Copies of this chain bind each other. A is one copy, B any other.
Amino acid sequence: MYQSQHDPLSPEKHIFDRAIALKQQPDGNWQGHTSIDYANMIGPFGGMTAATALQALLIQPERLGDPVALTVNFAGPVRDGAFEVRVRMLRSSRTTQHWSVEIVQGDDCVINAIAVFALRRPTWSETEIVMPEVAPADTLPLVGNMMGVSWPQCYDMRFARGGLRGVDGIGDNPDSLTQLWINDKPPRPLDFASLTAICDAFFPRLFSRRAQLVPIGTISLNIHFHADAATLAQQGSAPVLGVAQGQIYNLGFSDQVAQVWSAQGQLLATSQQAVWFKE
């Protein structure tokens, strides 16, 4: 297990913490840098960019409570290299805060995100959807190199159902429903930033559904968080169960929903994602 260090770019830090590290600039904005560890086919893994947008809020001294809702719109391709993060607090009450985050490279806005934070308090509680019954993580095979890109190597992924069509010998999928155990590799205690990245770690449902690999790109990722920081910390570095399924593919965009469960059956996050695709 990696330990937190004072210097976020220290080589002793976990690769995830180095990837989301931000440094404040004289003008008050924040500077980050894409991580080669989390590289995608072109540019960085979108989940890491989304996690960085959330991280920019988590480190604000005025930040109140925990994230409740985060929407990250991917405005353009993120180029490998440095980027600037601009944060604005639009509204704050005693219990709720509204934020805006833009990530820019040069003159280009690459991320347009908004978020709600809140002090979470015990209330009537119920989970209406049901966690699927799947084989335990340690009984399932570890996924090897996927699609020749770097970022999946930063996760321990074990598919209980679904997968990439034509990859790993899983074969055809009658639908895009995927159930997989996932955690950071090397292990790292779960927090809101890593949970955000995990919400984007489901491959585009199109790749699970169709044999043909067409150009795709996430255009909007919406995440609702259902646990507080203490509950996430209790998960330690155990794998979480991700469940993802496409709803529709039409006119160049598809829509997928996902749920992330703790091994103990607690629903930690739900998400909805819009993905651009070609052909």
Contacts and interface: CB of A to CB of B under 8 A. Distances in A.
A278 B120 CA distance: 11
A96 interface: yes
A113 B112 contact: no
Interface in A193-244: 205, 209-210, 214, 219-220, 222, 224, 226-228
Contacts of A185: none
Contacts of A113: 114
A257 interface: yes
A123 interface: yes
Contact of A128 (B114, B246, B253): B246
Nearest to A127: B248
A259 interface: yes
A213 to B, nearest CB: 12
A125 interface: yes
A69 interface: yes
A270 interface: yes
Interface residues of A, number: 66
A190 interface: no
Interface in A78-125: 90-91, 93, 96, 98, 100, 102, 108-110, 112-116, 118, 120-125
A176 interface: yes
Contact of A118 (B120, B210, B252): B252
A276 interface: yes
Contacts of A42: none
Contacts of A270: 247-248, 255, 257, 272
Contacts of A278: 123
Contact of A247 (B75, B98, B122, B267): B267
Given A68-B220, A71-B71, A100-B100, 12 more contacts: A68-B274, A96-B219, A116-B220, A123-B250, A123-B279, A129-B245, A220-B224, A222-B272, A224-B253, A226-B248, A247-B267, A248-B270
The 10 tightest CB contacts between A and B, nearest first, are: A120-B251, A69-B220, A75-B91, A71-B71, A222-B222, A75-B98, A90-B109, A272-B272, A125-B250, A127-B248
